[in-house]
Amino acid sequence: MERVEAVAYAIHAQQLDREPGPAQPTAAAIFDFGIQDTGRDGASWALANRGFPVASATDLEDRSDVALAWTLRSAPHFYRRADLADVMVATSPFSAADAIKRMVGAGKPLKDAGIDVLAGLAEVARTMRELVEEPMSKGEVSTALTGRLDPPYLRNCVPCGAIHPWEVPFRVGALYGGLELQPGTSPPVLQRIPGWGRSTGPAADPLAAPARLQPIRNYLRFFGPSIPRDVATFLDAPVTEIRNHWPEDAVETDVAGSRAWQLDPAAADPPDIVRLLGSHDLLLQIRNRELLVPDTGRHKALWPVIGRPGAVLVGTDIVGLWRPRASGADLTLRLDLWSTVDRATRSRIETEAERLAAHRGGTLTKIVDA
């Protein structure tokens, strides 16, 4: 399999080549993996880019059949509401070692204090559940939690000049405690999930979740041929754990001379599409970045540590970056193309910019080339 074929597979699996048409937004396949809602219109624009009838961020946020929760990499993701309990199971760590790796520093003080890390996560989840009887802002929950938890669960935050719970256990602990986020709130507001009937804490066996929700399988499903290290990096999990839970039905293949594995050997034709991908669109979450953008010199601009831009996708190639600048209802798009595109492609990019402005409830005033 060549690079173009592998990228075409991912684009097709993620439905970026889907023609717009009537359908329930929850029919989008990427709801199985969770749709990251980072940046303005993150999730709603991702759905619009896949041809689903979501007119704006509010249009998605107001739906009763979707819910927002902190899950993978402790980022906010939209899911089908009916899947939330199974999502909690699927996104739980495989072991204490897995939990320590995913907790980004928060596991060590627990371990040093002789506290089992999984039990520690359960304690955070239980306490949050008790605190959030009615909707509460993140700051309110954090302050209350600080007063209830022992020192190993807390950290001295230099930027804030305060002591508060470690961030990752706080975030993932919310869903473990049956809490969701109110969409469209900033700062985030947490509330109880109606009808939550599970005990608090991470699930004992993530593989007990339906296969369509399991993150390892979904990485292979939506990104195509991959290796365990790619999945581990995506999940912030130890590579050993990913190897130990690698799907038995994954098939070894060759991608541009490198060994990889995939679940579905079906091929996809290179698509004739132009998309303005949001900064955290699922396609841009690929961990084999050289596959998507072979020129590694472009990676720092596309994936900076802070303030990611959007990406211009033409066919199977990322051809440049975009950033919006809004003034009231007027939208200016700053376009940084890495190479010259033909007139027809330029026209299609302008059409996508107009769609983006309309999605944001405004009007495209101009496109500024970098």
Beta-bridge partner residues of 337: 320
Shared domain for 279 and 181, answered yes or no, is: no
- The stretches of 189-272 forming alpha helices (DSSP H) are 215-223, 228-235, 239-244
Number of domains in the chain: 2
Q: Is 235 contained in some domain?
A: no
Long-range contacts of 257-263 (CB under 8 A, 24+ apart): 259/227, 260/225, 260/226, 260/227, 261/220, 261/225, 261/226, 261/227, 262/9, 262/220, 262/224, 262/225, 262/226, 263/217, 263/220, 263/221
DSSP state of 293: -
Digit-coded pLDDT (tens) for 300-336: 999 999 999 999 999 999 999 999 998 888 999 999 9
Confidence at residue 172, expressed as pLDDT on a 0 to 100 scale:
96
End of a domain among 161, 186, 207?
A: 207
Helix (H) or strand (E) holding 90: helix 84-90
Shared domain for 37 and 174, answered yes or no, is: yes
| C-alpha to C-alpha distance for 144 and 259, rounded to whole angstroms | 50
Confidence at residue 265, expressed as pLDDT on a 0 to 100 scale:
83
Residue 321's SS3 state is: strand
Containing domain of residue 344, as a range?
A: 274-369
Shared domain for 189 and 73, answered yes or no, is: yes
Confidence at residue 247, expressed as pLDDT on a 0 to 100 scale:
97
End of a domain among 207, 227, 244?
A: 207
Count Cβ atoms below 10 Å from residue 73 Cβ, excluding itself.
17
Q: Is 17 contained in some domain?
A: yes
Whether residue 160 has pLDDT greater than 80: no
Mean model confidence pLDDT for the chain = 96
Is residue 11 very low, low, confident or very high in pLDDT (cuts 50, 70, 90)? very high
Beta-bridge partner residues of 150: none
Shared domain for 13 and 144, answered yes or no, is: yes
Whether residue 158 has pLDDT greater than 80: no
Q: Is 262 contained in some domain?
A: no
Shared domain for 153 and 12, answered yes or no, is: yes
253 closest CA partner among 10, 6, 4? 6
Shared domain for 193 and 292, answered yes or no, is: no
End of a domain among 153, 172, 207?
A: 207
